[in-house]
């Protein structure tokens, strides 16, 4: 008897940053941060001419495996937490300042739409070779990330040169096929109704209009209590129980946890929340969402609510932005001490500032398409230049 599949398009995945440092008391790679990541098709660019007109099967092989096929966008504070010490307590993370990109590795996860459980996980290509002998702490077998890319240049998460909280990585055609195969393998094995389709987005050629209905995609950091019995059922390897409505927690599965404190665990759950544009400034754009976004959403895509639909033959699979952060919620208006004397202009400025804070309280800030277009083109060009360098060296 055939099963009527529920097709779930996924244009974003969760991203985990792992760290290891020999001077820190640790025996294996551990989780440093988590967030959301968006897969995009690189912006259309003119062909970059090769340094030689002659070609060969070997050079073609290099080109096809090294030329960026997709790009990955994520929040820079998630991929490089050590560069944001203000986000962390020094008492809890006194070793953060000794970390560098050299000490980091990354994994992508497809998470269940119902439970947040990891359906599969795949390591990102890594150009860091010094620590590959320290295995990721896992109850699964993963290939060495260093074997997934033929160039360290195309496997580097690059931060925005202008200081925006965004990082980008070129993904080779080899990694693209590997990721697609993971989706296919999972859909082949599952016995439930949900089937997942990877939907990389194209960057919109224009910024979003202020009247558009918007969706914010990403992951919500959810914290749950561990049952008092301490017996937390682990999912079966047959995946029969993966997609039920009961959250499956396993003490032996470190990939489930963002943090674990005594009788609680935290994990990421996929989420899409509607919203609308509130106001633009010269530097940022603010949106009001139906629910205030939580930790874990940063790095996720901003789309129209028509995502995945066909409307007048128009492409609706467009990315209009990447979530950068959430404005802190103002619990209450700041009280003014009547005994404090101030000039009329100071009082007016203070009042305006309070009104602005109140207006933007809980708003979502995201990086718009025009900024992403320029940034992704620069990163893509760097990948093409490295591909041509490899071709030239092979032909010499």
Give the Cβ contact number of residue 98 at 10 Å. Answer: 11
Give, in order, the Cα–Cα distances in Å from 78 to each of 27, 198, 217, 300.
23, 22, 16, 12
- pLDDT per residue as tens digits for the range 133-167: 334 333 333 334 343 333 333 357 899 999 899 99
What's the pLDDT at 188?
A: 80
d(Cα 108, Cα 117) in Å, to the nearest integer? 13
d(Cα 294, Cα 117) in Å, to the nearest integer? 18
Average pLDDT, the chain: 74
Give, in order, the Cα–Cα distances in Å from 175 to each of 42, 65, 152, 170, 182.
15, 9, 13, 10, 11
Give, in order, the Cα–Cα distances in Å from 136 to each of 28, 123, 147, 269.
6, 10, 15, 22
What pTM, to 2 d.p., does this model score?
A: 0.78
CA angle 77, 82, 83 (to 5 degrees): 65
Question: Given CA atoms 322, 214, 112, 308 in this order, what sign does their dihedral have?
Answer: negative
8-state DSSP, 29: B
Tell me the CB-side half-sphere exposure of residue 314, using CA atoms within 13 A. Answer: 8
Going by pLDDT thresholds of 50, 70 and 90, the confidence category of residue 295 is confident
- Would you kindly state where each structural domain of the chain is located, as residue ranges? 6-327+362-395
Nearest Cα to Cα of residue 266 among 33, 21, 1: 33
What's the pLDDT at 144?
A: 42
What's the pLDDT at 143?
A: 36
- pLDDT per residue as tens digits for the range 245-281: 233 333 334 334 444 455 667 788 999 999 999 998 8
**6-327+362-395 adopts what CATH topology?**
Thrombin, subunit H (2.40.10)
- DSSP β-ladder status, 364-368 and 118-123: unpaired
Nearest Cα to Cα of residue 170 among 69, 45, 320, 318: 69
């Amino acid at each position: 008897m055939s099963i009527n599949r529920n097709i779930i398009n996924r244009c974003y995945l969760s991203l985990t940053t792992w760290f290891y440092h020999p001077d820190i008391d640790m025996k294996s790679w551990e989780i440093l941060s988590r967030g959301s990541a968006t897969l995009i098709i690189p912006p259309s660019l003119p062909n970059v001419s090769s340094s030689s007109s002659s070609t060969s099967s070997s050079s073609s092989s290099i080109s096809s495996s090294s030329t960026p096929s997709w790009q990955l966008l994520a929040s820079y504070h998630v991929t490089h937490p050590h560069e944001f010490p203000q986000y962390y307590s020094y008492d809890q993370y006194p070793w953060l300042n000794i970390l560098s990109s050299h000490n980091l590795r990354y994994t992508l996860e497809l998470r269940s739409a119902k439970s947040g459980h990891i359906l599969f996980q795949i390591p990102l290509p890594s150009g860091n070779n010094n620590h590959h002998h320290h295995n990721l702490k896992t109850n699964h077998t993963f290939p060495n990330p260093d074997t997934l890319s033929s160039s360290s240049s195309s496997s580097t998460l690059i931060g925005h040169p202008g200081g925006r909280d965004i990082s980008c990585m070129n993904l080779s055609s080899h990694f693209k096929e590997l990721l697609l195969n993971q989706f296919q393998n999972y859909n082949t094995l599952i016995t439930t109704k949900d089937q997942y389709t990877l939907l990389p987005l194209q960057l919109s050629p224009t910024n979003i209009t202020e009247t558009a209905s918007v969706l914010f995609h990403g992951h919500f950091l959810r914290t749950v209590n561990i049952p008092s019995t301490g017996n937390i059922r682990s999912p079966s390897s047959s995946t029969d129980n993966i997609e039920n409505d009961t959250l499956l927690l396993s003490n032996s599965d470190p990939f489930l946890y963002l943090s674990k404190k005594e009788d609680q665990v935290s994990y990421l759950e996929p989420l899409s929340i509607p919203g609308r544009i509130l106001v633009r400034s010269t530097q940022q754009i603010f949106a009001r969402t139906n629910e205030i976004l939580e930790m874990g959403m940063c790095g996720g895509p901003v789309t129209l609510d028509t995502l995945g639909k066909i409307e007048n033959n128009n492409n609706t699979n467009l990315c209009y932005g990447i979530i950068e952060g959430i404005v802190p919620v103002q619990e209450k208006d700041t009280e003014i001490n009547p005994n404090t004397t101030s000039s009329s202009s100071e009082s007016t400025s203070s009042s305006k500032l309070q009104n602005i804070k109140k207006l933007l309280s809980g708003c979502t800030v995201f990086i718009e398409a025009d900024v992403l277009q320029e940034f992704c083109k620069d990163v893509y060009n760097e990948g093409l230049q490295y591909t041509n360098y490899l071709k030239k060296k092979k032909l010499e």
